[in-house]
Amino acid sequence: MGLFDNKTGVVFGIANDHSLAWAITRELHSEGAQMGFTHLPDKDPKYRRMERRLRKLVDPFAQFVLPCEVRNDRDLDQVFAAARETFGEIDFVLHSIAYAPTYDLKEPTYNVSRDGFLVAMEISVYSLLAIARRAKDVLKPGGSILTLTYLGGERVIPGYNVMGICKAALDRSVAYLANELGPRGIRVNALSAGPVRTLSASAVGEFDLMMRLYQGMAPMRRNITPEEVGKAGMFLLSELAGGITGEVLHVDAGYHAMGAPPPDFSFGD
């Protein structure tokens, strides 16, 4: 019997098979969860690249697959209407959505454009609030919302730039949502993963150097795996984490705990 037998949920943000949201989804599915999924609408519907990429992964078990631009309230309403029609009530929501225009992400924070900043905050942070507002009326008591964050919201990570500011706001949003939804029996948490090769990671400068830095500094002297992120995300969404809310759980081999390099620090080969 799986931890998620007879449990249902909605997953936002699987871009491809390297996405951390996909790693979590695989664990949820292996434990018996039934899920609906969303994808970013394709600019040219004729090609449906985003939809096809998602369906290639989830079609064998997806209860629904819908386009969703999180800046569009109608799209969000349709997703939760589908969730209610399909499941009645749901047990969890996974939010894995972040974006900043490439130019604004690569520039120093003092050079970020007003429009770029607003877009990054709306998609990366406000989307969680907009989703939580709708989810609260569909989630069962004991339900859970999980988002993905990063250490760049707590510490300066050169190259992470404006996205670090967004993650700081996202982390605080988790705490405020946890307080407000707690009386309904709904938990809200964030998972802060160490560097893993994903589509979003490719936009961060000097990513290979970051991987070597983590491997040399982390107490476990290694980088993490997508499977470890998947299992931790599944745990936070499960009843095993029933007493945990407002938390940012670091899955980074302990890197976040370090204030200086260890005596045997090395960048490796």
Residues recognised as catalytic: 150, 160
| CA–CA distance, 269 with 239 (Å, rounded to integer) | 42
By 3-state DSSP, what share of the chain in percent is helix, strand and coil, each rounded to 5? 45, 15, 35
* Residue 119: strand, helix, or coil: helix
> Is the CB of residue 20 less than 8 Å from the CB of residue 196?
yes
Short-list 19, 63, 18, 10, CA closest to 38:
10
Longest dimension (CA), the chain: 58
Residue 156 backbone phi and psi in degrees, to 5: -75, 120
Contact 93, 43 (CB under 8 A): no
- CA nearest to 66, candidates 74, 49, 78, 48: 78
Residue 262 CA from chain centroid, whole number:
30
Burial of 251 (0-12, 13-18, 19+ CB in 10 A): buried
CA–CA distance, 230 with 23 (Å, rounded to integer) = 5
Beta strands in the chain (DSSP E): 8-12, 34-39, 62-67, 90-95, 139-149, 187-193, 248-251
